[in-house]
Amino acid sequence: MEEATRRWNAVSETVEQVYRAFGRYALAGPILCEMSGRPIVQANMPLRKRVVQDFERYQGKAITTLGTVEDYKHFLPRLLDLNTEQHRRRTIFRETISCEELMGPSIDLDMIAMKLEYAQADSWPTGERDVLQNFGIARWWWELALRENFGGGVRDAMALLDSIGRPLYEHLEAAFAAFGQDELIALGTFVNRTVRYAPKLGFPYFDWVGNHEDDDPLSRWLLSPQVEGALEDAFFRNSDEAAGEVLSSAVRQLAWVRSIQAKRN
Each residue's pLDDT expressed in tens, for the chain with a length of 265 residues: 488 889 999 999 999 999 999 999 998 888 887 778 788 888 888 999 999 999 988 999 999 989 999 999 999 999 999 999 988 887 776 666 677 766 667 899 999 999 999 999 999 999 999 999 999 999 999 999 887 665 568 999 999 999 999 999 999 999 999 999 999 999 999 999 888 887 777 788 888 876 555 568 999 999 999 999 999 999 988 778 888 999 999 999 999 988 887 776 6
**Phi and psi at residue 26, in whole multiples of 5°?**
-110, 155
Question: What are the CA-CA distances from residue 76 to residues 16, 67, 192, 202 (Å)?
Answer: 12, 13, 32, 42
pLDDT of residue 102: 65
Closest CA to 255 of 210, 215, 195: 195
| DSSP string of 174-203, one letter each residue | HHGGG--HHHHHHHHHHHHHHEEEETTTTE
* Separation CA 22–CA 25 (nearest Å): 6
Residue 198's identity, in one-letter code, is A
Number of neighbours of residue 105 by Cβ within 10 angstroms: 14
pTM value > 0.95: no
Tell me 223's DSSP state. T
* Separation CA 84–CA 89 (nearest Å): 9
Tell me 122's DSSP state. G
Contacts of 189 (CB under 8 A, 6+ apart): 144, 246, 250
Torsion of CA 109, 36, 68, 160, to 10 degrees: 10
202-211: list long-range contacts, CB under 8 Å, 24+ apart. Answer: 203/260, 203/261, 203/264, 204/253, 204/256, 204/257, 204/260, 205/257, 206/257, 207/155, 208/155, 208/158
* Separation CA 135–CA 18 (nearest Å): 8
**Phi and psi at residue 40, in whole multiples of 5°?**
-100, -40
Tell me 205's DSSP state. E
pLDDT of residue 95: 61
Closest CA to 23 of 79, 80, 77: 77
